[in-house]
A and B are shown apart, each in its own frame.
Chain A
C-alpha cells in the first residue's frame, strides 16, 4: 500500500464512521475552563466541515464565540469489551463559526438529511447552525494506533 492509498483508505474509513455515527463530543473553552458537550453532527463529503446546531444561549455557543478553536470526538464504541480492540475514534481539530450566507442552505439540508427529526429545533430563531472547519484529524484504532490526517 502506498501513501496515496493510505490517505484514500483513511478518508473512506472516516466517511463511513461519520455516516454511521449520529453524535459527537464537542470540546470548547471559556473562562479558563474546557467544556464538553454531546451534539448531533454531520460531515461534508470532503471531510473538511463538521456541522452541528446549538441554541445561542448555551455555554458551548458562548465559548465558541469567544474562542473558535475547538475539538470534536467521534467514535463507534458500543460499550462492551470488543471496544478495546475494535472501536475507532477520530478527534477533529479546527475552528468553529456560525454558518451564514450562501452556504447556510446547503449545510442545513445536509444536516437535516441526517437528522430529520431535528427540523423544528434547527428552524428555531434561537438556534445557530455551526460549522467546524477541520484542520487535522487524529484517528485511533486497534487501541493504540494513531494516524494524523492534515486537511488542506
Chain B
C-alpha cells in the first residue's frame, strides 16, 4: 500500500488512487506548468482508515436510516454532520498515522500547507461539481495536517455530496477520497479562469481578487471580471468590482482584511496578466482536451496553477431548482453577519410596524367595497413578506449550521448536537408565551377552588384574569380567530386547567449556559476567539429568528385573516380552508411539501399492515412513552392531555404552546433545526423527526414510545 505519493511520481495508473485534482496537478507539473509542490494522500489511506476503525459500517448504517427518496433535504445536513463528527472523533490507526506523519514531516517540516480534496472521478466533466468537498488553507504541523485530512475525508459525505449522491455515484461501499497536501503560495492576486463562458461558447471568463482565492470561491468577495474572445484572447470587457477586502493567511487559517486605499482603485490584474492567464487556461485545455475551469494565484509576478478541472456541465443544467436553492443556503460568516443586521435592524422592525399599522384599522367601519380592497391589500402585504421570509429569514438559519461545524471541530463532543445547548438563551417569543401559560397553570394549582370556578365559566379571579388578558393581548392573535378570542377562551382555559392538573415540563435549566460558553471559547485565542464569540452570537440570533420569524409572520397572517373573516361575515359564506383546518394552515409559509390525506382501508384480502417501529432522525435525546395525539387541527391542540405524545406533520411555533404537556414529539418533517426539535430541546423532551407519514400511520390514542437517542419510534404497547 502506498499512502503518500509525491506529485512528481504520479503515473497514469495512479490516477484513481490520487484522485482527480492531484492527477491534474501532476500532469500539469509534468508538462512544466507552474504548480505548487504537493503530495497526494491516496485513497488507500482513506480505505484503511474507514475499514480498520469500522467507520465504513457506521457510515453505511447512518445512510440507510431511510431510503434516498424519503430523505428531506434538511435531513441531509444532519446526516452529514453526524458522519463528520464520526470522523472527528475516530482516531487514526497508529501505523497509518505514523506513516502519514512521517511523510508530511519530510516534505513540509512545519511549513504552511493547503489541504484539499481530490476525489476519484472528479476530473471527468460528468461528475465535476464545484464546492462539494472541503479545502483548508494555511494548515501547519503534521498533527494539524492529519486532522484536516480527516475533515477532507468527511466531506466526501457533505450535505452537498449527499444531495448529488446519484449523479456522483456516491456509494458507501466503494466511494473513497484522496487528499492533496500543497505548499501554500501566498498569492497577492488570485482567481479563476473559465475556458468557455457558460452562456457563450465563443468567449471565456477570468475573475480576480486581491489576496488568496478563498474569498472568491466562497462568495465573500466580489471579483473583477474579464470577458475574452476564446479564439485569440482579445479582452472584450472588464467589469471592475467594489474592492474592499482581501483574504490572507492569518496565524492559522485565513482572515479577511481591509484593502489599503491604493489597491481599492486599482484592478488586481493588468491586461498582460489577463492574457497570461488566458494562455494558461488554453494550455490546460490543450493538455486535458476539454475546456477547463482553473484556479490560479500570482506571487512575485509568477503565475501558479492551483487546480484545473473540466467545466461542470451538470450543475448548470440542473433542472431540480430545489437543490440549487438548497445549495444557495450555505452562507459565509461575512454574509451571515450582514444578513443579521439587515434582519434584526431593518426587516423585523418593518414587519412589526406594518402589522401594528394594520391593527389600527377599524374594519367594521369600512364599506363593503373598501373591505374588499383592504383584503386584497393585506394579501399583497403578506405575499411581499413571504418573499422576504424565503429570501432572508430561511437562509439565515444557516448561522446555526455554521456554528455547529465550528463548535464540533473545536470541542469534538460525542453528541454532534451538543452545540444546540449553547444557542438557547430563552428569549424566543414562543417561550415567553408558554411561560405565561405556565404561570396561569401554577396559579390554578395553588388555589383549590379556582379550577372549579373556571370550569363553571367564572374568570373573575384577579391574577388569573389579568394573566389571561396579558396572554390574549400579546399572543391572542395567534391562538384565536378573532382579536379578542371570545370564542376560544373556554378552550384556552381548559387547556390551562389541564396544564395545572399535573406539573408540566419545565424548561431546561440555563445555569450551565455561561460555563459552556466559556468552555467553548477557551478553545480559541486572539482574533479567533473574537470571531468564535461573534459566530456564537450570530448563531443565537439565527436560533431565535428561526422561531420568532414564524411568530411575527403569524401575527401578520392573523391580520390578513381578520379581513377575510370580516368578508365572510358580511357575505355569509365561508372562506375556504380557514374554519376547519385552523388558521395556521391557510396562508402557509411552506411550499411544495404536500401531505397526503389518504384515509386507509384495510381491505386487501383481509390482511392488515401496521408499522411497529420506524426509524427517523434523533432530534432531542431521551425516551418518552404515552398515547399519541395526532395534530391536524386547532381542536386537536386544545384537547391535548398531559403525558401525550405530540405527533404532527410539521409544527409551527404558533402551535407549540402545548409542548410543555407532551411526553415526546414526533414530526414528519426531518431535521435538527425544525421547530419541533428546537422546542423539544427547550423542554428537554425526547423528539424524533423525519418519521415518514407520521400523522397517517400513527392514530390518536396509539401507545407510542419515542426514542430520541436512536431516532426511532415504537408504535403499540
Set of chain B residues within 8 Å of A140, measured between Cβ atoms: 613
Let me know if B609 and A149 touch, CB within 8 A: yes
Is A117 close to B, CB under 8 A? no
Set of chain B residues within 8 Å of A4, measured between Cβ atoms: 600-601, 603-604
Set of chain B residues within 8 Å of A145, measured between Cβ atoms: 613-615
Set of chain B residues within 8 Å of A10, measured between Cβ atoms: 609
Neighbour of B60 across the interface among A82, A147, A149, CB < 8 A = A82
Give the distance in Å from the alpha carbon of A93 to the alpha carbon of B66 in the complex. Answer: 27
Is B592 close to A, CB under 8 A? no
Also in contact, A3 and B615, with CB within 8 A (given A142-B64, A144-B712): no
Let me know if B615 and A142 touch, CB within 8 A: yes
Set of chain A residues within 8 Å of B716, measured between Cβ atoms: 148
Could you tell me which B residues sit within 8 Å of A by CB distance? 56-57, 60-61, 63-67, 173, 596, 598, 600-615, 710, 712, 714, 716
Which residues of chain A from 39 to 73 have a CB within 8 Å of any chain B CB?
A: 46
Which residues of chain A from 1 to 55 have a CB within 8 Å of any chain B CB?
A: 2-4, 6-8, 10-11, 46
Also in contact, A84 and B61, with CB within 8 A (given A3-B598, A7-B607, A142-B66): yes
Set of chain B residues within 8 Å of A6, measured between Cβ atoms: 609
Query: Could you tell me the distance in whole angstroms from the C-beta of A132 to the nearest C-beta in chain B?
Result: 17
Is A118 close to B, CB under 8 A? no
Let me know if A143 and B609 touch, CB within 8 A: no
Let me know if B610 and A147 touch, CB within 8 A: yes
Let me know if A150 and B173 touch, CB within 8 A: no
A sample of 10 cross-chain residue pairs with beta-carbon separation below 8 angstroms, ordered by A number, consists of: A3-B600, A4-B604, A7-B602, A46-B605, A81-B60, A84-B61, A86-B64, A146-B611, A149-B610, A152-B607
Set of chain B residues within 8 Å of A152, measured between Cβ atoms: 605-607
Let me know if A7 and B613 touch, CB within 8 A: no
Let me know if B603 and A84 touch, CB within 8 A: no
Give the distance in Å from the alpha carbon of A148 to the alpha carbon of B715 in the complex. Answer: 10
Let me know if A2 and B598 touch, CB within 8 A: yes
Query: Could you tell me the distance in whole angstroms from the C-beta of B75 to the nearest C-beta in chain A?
Result: 14
Is A85 close to B, CB under 8 A? yes
Also in contact, A147 and B609, with CB within 8 A (given A82-B173, A142-B66): yes
Give the distance in Å from the alpha carbon of A140 to the alpha carbon of B615 in the complex. Answer: 11
Also in contact, A148 and B609, with CB within 8 A (given A2-B600, A142-B64): yes
Set of chain B residues within 8 Å of A148, measured between Cβ atoms: 609-612, 716
From A81, A82, A150, name the one whose CB has the most chain B CB atoms within 10 angstroms: A81
Interface string of A115-152 (1 = CB under 8 A from B): 00000000000000000000000101011111111111
Let me know if B609 and A151 touch, CB within 8 A: no
Neighbour of A3 across the interface among B64, B67, B601, B613, CB < 8 A = B601
**Nearest A residue to B64 by beta-carbon distance?**
A85
Give the distance in Å from the alpha carbon of A106 to the alpha carbon of B602 in the complex. Answer: 30
Interface of chain B, main secondary structure:
mixed
Neighbour of A151 across the interface among B61, B607, B614, CB < 8 A = B607
Let me know if A8 and B604 touch, CB within 8 A: yes
Neighbour of A146 across the interface among B65, B604, B613, CB < 8 A = B613
Query: Could you tell me the distance in whole angstroms from the C-beta of B494 to the nearest C-beta in chain A?
Result: 34
Give the distance in Å from the alpha carbon of A143 to the alpha carbon of B67 in the complex. Answer: 12
Let me know if B615 and A7 touch, CB within 8 A: no
**Nearest A residue to B710 by beta-carbon distance?**
A144
Let me know if A85 and B66 touch, CB within 8 A: no
Query: Could you tell me the distance in whole angstroms from the C-beta of B707 to the nearest C-beta in chain A?
Result: 9
Set of chain A residues within 8 Å of B609, measured between Cβ atoms: 3, 6-7, 10, 147-150
Give the distance in Å from the alpha carbon of A10 to the alpha carbon of B605 in the complex. Answer: 14
Set of chain A residues within 8 Å of B608, measured between Cβ atoms: 7, 149-150
Query: Could you tell me the distance in whole angstroms from the C-beta of A71 to the nearest C-beta in chain B?
Result: 15
Set of chain A residues within 8 Å of B596, measured between Cβ atoms: 2
Let me know if B60 and A85 touch, CB within 8 A: yes
Give the distance in Å from the alpha carbon of A76 to the alpha carbon of B607 in the complex. Answer: 24
Give the distance in Å from the alpha carbon of A88 to the alpha carbon of B150 in the complex. Answer: 32
Give the distance in Å from the alpha carbon of A145 to the alpha carbon of B66 in the complex. Answer: 9
Give the distance in Å from the alpha carbon of A82 to the alpha carbon of B65 in the complex. Answer: 13
Let me know if B604 and A138 touch, CB within 8 A: no
Set of chain A residues within 8 Å of B67, measured between Cβ atoms: 142
Let me know if A144 and B612 touch, CB within 8 A: no
Also in contact, A142 and B65, with CB within 8 A (given A3-B601, A150-B607): yes
Query: Could you tell me the distance in whole angstroms from the C-beta of A141 to the nearest C-beta in chain B?
Result: 9
Set of chain A residues within 8 Å of B603, measured between Cβ atoms: 4
Neighbour of B602 across the interface among A3, A144, A147, CB < 8 A = A3
Let me know if B56 and A81 touch, CB within 8 A: yes
Query: Could you tell me the distance in whole angstroms from the C-beta of B5 to the nearest C-beta in chain A?
Result: 28
Interface string of A83-110 (1 = CB under 8 A from B): 0111000000000000000000000000
Give the distance in Å from the alpha carbon of A144 to the alpha carbon of B61 in the complex. Answer: 10
Give the distance in Å from the alpha carbon of A46 to the alpha carbon of B64 in the complex. Answer: 29
Set of chain A residues within 8 Å of B64, measured between Cβ atoms: 84-86, 142-143
Query: Could you tell me the distance in whole angstroms from the C-beta of B594 to the nearest C-beta in chain A?
Result: 13
Give the distance in Å from the alpha carbon of A4 to the alpha carbon of B109 in the complex. Answer: 66
Let me know if A144 and B615 touch, CB within 8 A: yes
**Nearest A residue to B56 by beta-carbon distance?**
A81
Query: Could you tell me the distance in whole angstroms from the C-beta of B473 to the nearest C-beta in chain A?
Result: 45
The 3 closest A-B pairs by CB, nearest first: A152-B606, A85-B64, A146-B613
Set of chain B residues within 8 Å of A150, measured between Cβ atoms: 607-610
Set of chain A residues within 8 Å of B714, measured between Cβ atoms: 146
Query: Could you tell me the distance in whole angstroms from the C-beta of B205 to the nearest C-beta in chain A?
Result: 44
Give the distance in Å from the alpha carbon of A117 to the alpha carbon of B612 in the complex. Answer: 38
Let me know if A7 and B60 touch, CB within 8 A: no
Set of chain A residues within 8 Å of B611, measured between Cβ atoms: 146-148
Give the distance in Å from the alpha carbon of A56 to the alpha carbon of B712 in the complex. Answer: 43
Give the distance in Å from the alpha carbon of A152 to the alpha carbon of B607 in the complex. Answer: 5
Also in contact, A149 and B615, with CB within 8 A (given A2-B596, A84-B57): no
